[in-house]
Structure 1
Amino acid sequence: MKNLLVVVVLLVPFLLFNPISSSSSADEQFSVDGKVLELDESNFESAISRFDFILVDFYAPWCGHCKSLSPELDAAAPVLATLREPIVIAKVNADKFTRLAQKYDIDGYPTLKIFSHGVPVDYYGPRKAELLVRYLKKLVAPDFSVLDSDSAINNFVEAAGNYFPIYIGFGLDQSMIEKLAVKYKKKAWFSVAKDFSEDAMVLYDFDKVPALVSLNPSYNERSTFYGPFEEEFLEDFVKQNLIPLVTPINLETLKILKDDARKVVLTIVEDDEEEKAKELVKLLKAAASANRDLVFGYVGVKQWADFAETFGSTSKLPKMVVWSGREEYFSVIDSERIAGEDQATQISRFLQGYKEGRITEEKVRGRSMLAIINSLINIRTVYALVFVVAIVMLIQSINKDDSDHERVPNQVDNAGSSISEAAYSVYKPEDKED
């Protein structure tokens, strides 16, 4: 038995870490030929330093979504390679090369990251080849554009597409938004219109200059800022309009919201595709427009029950809570449920009650905590924890074996076998969610 323990301990490095592939040397030279690069732990850093812009797909071979994404990346790669500032696409088997996955906080598959001059940023854009190409062109576009006519403005808006908010400073000195354009380049388009007509003022719905207009084409939203044109207030306006007035809550929007310090006024409905839910969202937009210090979001139980149910019972809907974005949320006393005909008044009463402090603080349910833990600990770490527990139990069994030589050894063998089988039957790679 002691010999077995020695063997098991020696196997720890093998079980926790995959051997580094020797398929390519660290100083391997890559070329921009329109092909998707296959990277591993031996050439990853070399590739990142070789290219100014590289989109990396961290995938797992068993992942269905990864298999669907692969041909889209193959189709986009040759187009992106022909840009004036080429963008290279690469992929990493994160299920195999776990040290890379851990280093870049990969907690699901596929995860896409854009490395801009070596700095990684999460990619939340479309994954169809044509749209992906248009989205990634933003990465190599100028920080901001100077527009000198109505047609230049219209061309700029059309070329920007629907996947980023658009900011146009009409009659605004470019120095006022230059820093913001650099800071938020990966999240929005920025421009300054130097020459424009009254037709443009009507089209973009502003009546005096200077004005900073934000457009969110995906949600058909527009907002105008007339000052004061100081950096603090300008940045607040930019940050508030990076997301729509009322945000549908899903995995992608949660990733975006994690960078927003505002609390989330969350409305939970049965089905966010139902007409009555869409009418409620319209009322929420009016409330959100008047309360920009808060983020407004909504989620359907039908669309994401696991998330919705972390905020208490979903038997009486729709209901509203204020979520901190972490482990606690707040219910407004006597104003939680939004039911009946006059929902606009009930929304106003809820917000007034929250701001007056008529609230109770509650903790999100345990399932959410499990989700947080799962997002922080990947499957290899789980394997390691299970393995350590097994080793501790094995050592305890051996110590017991020293004091009782007759019947315990067989019991230890059986216990060790059952622990191992139970652990590995629960934590199988094929059981992981994408």
Structure 2
Amino acid sequence: MLLQGVLRLLWAFAVYLCHNLRLLLPEASAAWHSQLRCIDLFRPQLSSKGAAARSNQAERERSVPMAMALRRRLLLLLPLLFLVVLVQRPHNCVASGGGGGEPAEFEIPRDGSVLELDESNFEAAVRAAEFLFVDFYAPWCGHCKRLAPQLDEAAVVLAGLSTPVVVAKVNADKYRKLGSKYGVDGFPTLMLFDHGVPSEYTGSRKADLLVENLKKLVAPDVSVLESDSSIKGFVEAAGINFPLFIGFGMDESLIVEYGAKYKKKAWFSTAKDFSEDMMVVYDFDKFPALVSVNPKYNEQSVFYDPFEGTFLEDFIRQSLLPVTVPVDRETVKLLKDDGRKVVLTILEDESDENSPQLIKVLRSAANANHDLVFGYVGVKQWEEFSETFDVKVPQLPKIIVWDTKEEYEVVEGSESLREGDYGSQVSRFLEGYREGRTIKKKVGRGSPTLLGLNAIYILIFLVAVLVVLMYFSAQGEEDHQPRRGRAHED
């Protein structure tokens, strides 16, 4: 890019000189012809030799500056033409460090350090790294500053994986063309380049979860397991933060589509050879069987058939969430992605002594109502979110049906749950919801999650524009007032 800019400047300068040369040539030619005409001044027909001499001298005085100007421009033009020829020569050899015109190879360090890239070496780094994780940042961005130590910590672990991930960063505020090329419109923007193909990363930015996410993203869509030991190794490597799907006796082709589709959310594998011990551990009595394991919530379920139509995908999609979802800033994203309505129970405190009993009832209800997702949240755990549903502590626990957007429904007469027989109260609530005895309400405005970041960004932008307009308006008034004063004094 820099080379092209220099070339354009040189070319513009050459055009300028040529234009001036074209204008000067007629003038110089006229000057030279006038010098030749001076010879005629010595002919007898001239009436006055003194007048001829003065005319000749004047012509010479006019011609000398023009000739000198012409020579100066010609002298400038010669090195300029040399530079243009030099710049237009093939320059791949300069970058390659060797013959053949091949681009330079980028050497990837293996010490787990975070690389600082710019426009001169970014594309080479993308080509050199099988997996490159890039942070497009701005030096003034507070979120970027907080992310930096997390990346430093994660980079060391990612470099030591069996499939290493290289971590790099780019000052996209300085190298804006590079940021624009990859659609960077906010900071920080994180991207994973998988064999040169970029995809935006929107997962957790904490070092440990960042490592878990990237481990999953660089793994095969579906891992093929050949023995009990490989099954155990797969489960151990997967960790506890994401659900696992193991297809015992299943052909890989049955789930490869879903392995790619839900790669960011779960681990997928098929087990070809396994013992009866594995059947006991994962609680299935025949195969083929797809076992879903959610280690974080200690949940497990089995799907036998049919492995066709929407049945298999429905099972996978529903198993991405625990049976009852503790709602927090991470799981609320999963709820929105799921698409089902949420039966949300709002507690005063999730750690209260009565809460486990109610959560157990919700779990039983969830197993019988697969078209709904059941979740719970404590006001003490996430007050900002809870208050968007018009909660009042004396009326808790409160149960509603939320569309995960801007509306929720309450069932007449069953909005609050009294301590005691939670089972019958939840049943009456679900019965009233199915019968349509509900009142729709709008979600409050206390949670940025519900408002959406785009709306917040637009609001900030409008405020910034207003401040700028007010500033320039004030400046204009200040500039105008002194002028009026001076005019009055004059």
For Structure 1 versus Structure 2, the TM-score category normalised by the shorter chain is 0.7 to 0.9
Residue 120 of structure 1, aligned match among 171, 186, 199: 199
Residue deviations 1:368-416, cap 9 Å, x none? 479625554438x725543246527976998x99xxx99xx99xxxxxx
Give the AA of the match of 1:349. Answer: R
Map 1:17-416 to 2 at 5 A.
31-33=107-109, 34-38=112-116, 51-57=129-135, 69-83=147-161, 85-91=163-169, 103-104=183-184, 106=186, 112-116=190-194, 117-125=196-204, 127-128=206-207, 132-315=210-393, 316-368=395-447, 372=451, 374-378=453-457, 382-383=460-461, 385-388=463-466, 391=469
For residue 40 of structure 1, report the CA deviation from its aligned partner.
Answer: 6.7
Higher helix share: 2
Change (3 A) 1:194 1:77: same
Residue deviations 1:104-146, cap 9 Å, x none? 5658xx77554444332434347245x6445422222222122
Change (3 A) 1:104 1:279: farther
8 Å CA contact 2:107–2:128 kept in 1: the answer is: no
Residue deviations 1:171-204, cap 9 Å, x none? 2222211211122222211111222222221110
8 Å CA contact 1:268–1:298 kept in 2: the answer is: yes
8 Å CA contact 2:134–2:170 kept in 1: the answer is: yes
Relative contact order higher in (CA < 8 Å, ≥ 6 apart): 1
Give the AA of the match of 1:170. Answer: F
Query: How far apart are the structure 2 equivalents of 1:327 and 1:35?
Result: 44
Which has the greater radius of gyration? Answer: 2
8 Å CA contact 1:149–1:193 kept in 2: the answer is: yes
For residue 330 of structure 1, report the CA deviation from its aligned partner.
Answer: 0.7
8 Å CA contact 1:306–1:367 kept in 2: the answer is: yes
Give the AA of the match of 2:424. Answer: T
Q: How many residues align?
A: 377
Tell me which residue corresponds to 2:98: none
Query: How far apart are the structure 2 equivalents of 1:128 and 1:297?
Result: 27
For residue 209 of structure 1, report the CA deviation from its aligned partner.
Answer: 1.9
| Aligned sequence identity (%) | 53
Instruction: Decide which moves more: 360-369 or 38-47.
Output: 38-47
Tell me which residue corresponds to 1:425: none
Give the AA of the match of 1:80. Answer: L
8 Å CA contact 2:203–2:213 kept in 1: the answer is: no
Query: How far apart are the structure 2 equivalents of 1:164 and 1:370?
Result: 22
Query: How far apart are the structure 2 equivalents of 1:253 and 1:370?
Result: 12
Tell me which residue corresponds to 2:16: none
Tell me the SS of whatever aligns to 1:378.
Answer: helix
Tell me the SS of whatever aligns to 2:446.
Answer: helix
Change (3 A) 1:388 1:199: same
For residue 50 of structure 1, report the CA deviation from its aligned partner.
Answer: 6.2
Give the AA of the match of 1:86. Answer: P
TM-score (normalizing by structure 2): 0.66
8 Å CA contact 1:149–1:196 kept in 2: the answer is: yes
For residue 228 of structure 1, report the CA deviation from its aligned partner.
Answer: 1.3
Give the AA of the match of 1:172. Answer: M
Tell me the SS of whatever aligns to 1:195.
Answer: coil
Tell me the SS of whatever aligns to 1:310.
Answer: helix
Change (3 A) 1:106 1:47: farther
Give the AA of the match of 2:402. Answer: W
Query: How far apart are the structure 1 equivalents of 2:368 and 2:154?
Result: 42
Query: How far apart are the structure 2 equivalents of 1:158 and 1:302?
Result: 34
Tell me the SS of whatever aligns to 2:381.
Answer: helix
For residue 238 of structure 1, report the CA deviation from its aligned partner.
Answer: 0.7
Query: How far apart are the structure 1 equivalents of 2:128 and 2:142?
Result: 31
Instruction: Decide which moves more: 383-392 or 360-369.
Output: 383-392
For residue 223 of structure 1, report the CA deviation from its aligned partner.
Answer: 0.9
Give the AA of the match of 1:193. Answer: A
Map 1:7-18 to 2 at 5 A.
none
Change (3 A) 1:65 1:366: closer
Instruction: Decide which moves more: 139-148 or 113-122.
Output: 113-122
For residue 271 of structure 1, report the CA deviation from its aligned partner.
Answer: 1.4
Change (3 A) 1:377 1:40: farther
Structure 2 unaligned segments of length 5 or more: list them.
Answer: 1-94, 96-102, 486-490
Change (3 A) 1:347 1:31: farther
Change (3 A) 1:333 1:217: same
